């Protein structure tokens, strides 16, 4: 089957962006290793430029756009925060205008950061439909190029560069834990990791209401329509449905078992990261910390004979 990206696309993305991003260092915790009985390697993208992994995909998309369409008038997107910050930063670096459609309930600190990179913020209702419609209207009216936060080949390939770094830093991993919203990060990480190391297992961490495990096991998109936002403390993971481009990769390559978390578990993961690892992480970023410490993952590790596990901390904004 043909997918939106492949390993070659991820490698090309890495060539474009590697001089402009941090190669985030691997962090370890003896406490985590003792509690889990595993060797755990954290990839802290909260220390990445703009405070999250999103700069990888945004930079790749903007740089590729400038290669293929040097006369582009500017870019537009919709985002609850991290992609908006990343695209604003990437556009500023590329010398082009950026407009970000932000839901009215987005954290004020994230909207302020978007403005800090020089982008225009346009507010909309807090529904997937309003976000997309407002973004489409602005693109048509102003002649801007839309760069979505997850369902875009260049964005997906950029996020996959995490796996290139990770498997260079820790080559003999058994598994990776990755969080999900629309699936840009998860699909990119999965495609690159499974292409380089076919035996590796990638487990997705999701909020309880997402229904991803049910959909993965059936191989079907069982989510109710229209798409909706979930009620979760992890504001970067509120979207219930993954994208149309990200879904086939998730369906075919991710492990069918997910780690689904309640808000209380995510908060506990944040607290652990703060107190024991000295890492400032947002709820979405803390989800994988909570997951690796969970009874659910302990059972999965035992079932699959896992010993060396990577945990992607997505951000800290």
Inter-axis angle of helices 7-17 and 153-169, nearest 10: 80
Query: Which SS3 state, helix, strand or coil, does residue 316 take?
Result: coil
* Residue at token pair 């993305």: 13
What is the phi/psi pair of residue 211, to 5°?
Answer: 70, 15
What is the phi/psi pair of residue 219, to 5°?
Answer: 75, 15
Task: Select which of 43, 49, 54, 210 is catalytic.
Answer: 54
CA distance 64 to 67: 5
CA-to-CA separations, 266 to 25, 41, 211, in angstroms, rounded: 23, 19, 17
Q: To which H or E segment does residue 31 belong?
A: helix 30-36
CA distance 55 to 49: 7
125 given a catalytic annotation:
no
The two most distant CA atoms of the chain are separated, in Å, by 57
Q: Cβ(232)–Cβ(261) under 8 Å?
A: no
* Residue at token pair 């598994």: 175
Query: Which SS3 state, helix, strand or coil, does residue 255 take?
Result: coil
Q: Cβ(193)–Cβ(309) under 8 Å?
A: no
Q: Cβ(127)–Cβ(101) under 8 Å?
A: no
**What does the block give as tokens for 194?**
């499974």
* Residue at token pair 């939106």: 4
2 given a catalytic annotation:
no
Task: Select which of 12, 79, 80, 195 is catalytic.
Answer: 80
Catalogue the active-site residues.
54, 80
């Amino acid at each position: 089957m043909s997918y939106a990206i492949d390993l070659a696309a991820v490698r090309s993305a890495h060539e474009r962006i590697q001089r402009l991003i941090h190669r985030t260092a691997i962090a370890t915790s003896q406490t985590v290793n003792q509690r889990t009985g595993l060797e755990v390697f954290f990839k802290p993208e909260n220390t990445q430029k703009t405070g999250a992994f999103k700069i990888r995909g945004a930079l790749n998309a903007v740089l590729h756009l400038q290669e293929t369409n040097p006369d582009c008038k500017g870019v537009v997107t919709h985002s609850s925060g991290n992609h908006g910050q990343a695209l604003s930063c990437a556009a500023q670096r590329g010398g082009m205008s950026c407009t970000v459609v932000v839901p009215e309930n987005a954290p004020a600190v994230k909207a302020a950061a978007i403005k800090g990179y020089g982008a225009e913020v346009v507010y909309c209702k807090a529904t997937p439909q309003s976000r997309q419609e407002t973004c489409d209207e602005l693109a048509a009216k102003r002649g801007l190029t839309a760069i979505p936060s997850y369902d875009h080949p260049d964005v997906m390939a950029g996020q996959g560069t995490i796996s290139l770094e990770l498997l260079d830093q820790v080559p003999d991993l058994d598994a990776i834990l990755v969080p999900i919203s629309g699936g840009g990060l998860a699909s990119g990480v999965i495609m690159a990791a499974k292409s380089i190391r076919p035996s590796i297992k990638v487990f997705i961490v999701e909020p309880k209401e997402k229904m991803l495990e049910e959909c993965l096991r059936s191989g079907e998109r069982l989510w109710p329509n229209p798409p909706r936002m979930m009620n979760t403390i992890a504001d970067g993971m509120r979207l219930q449905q993954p994208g149309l481009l990200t879904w086939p990769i998730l369906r075919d390559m991710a492990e069918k078992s997910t780690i689904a978390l309640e808000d209380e578990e995510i908060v506990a993961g944040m607290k652990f990261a703060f107190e024991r690892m000295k890492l400032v992480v947002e709820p979405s970023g803390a989800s994988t910390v909570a997951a690796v410490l969970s009874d659910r993952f302990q059972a999965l590790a035992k079932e699959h004979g896992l010993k060396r596990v990577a945990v992607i901390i997505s951000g800290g904004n």
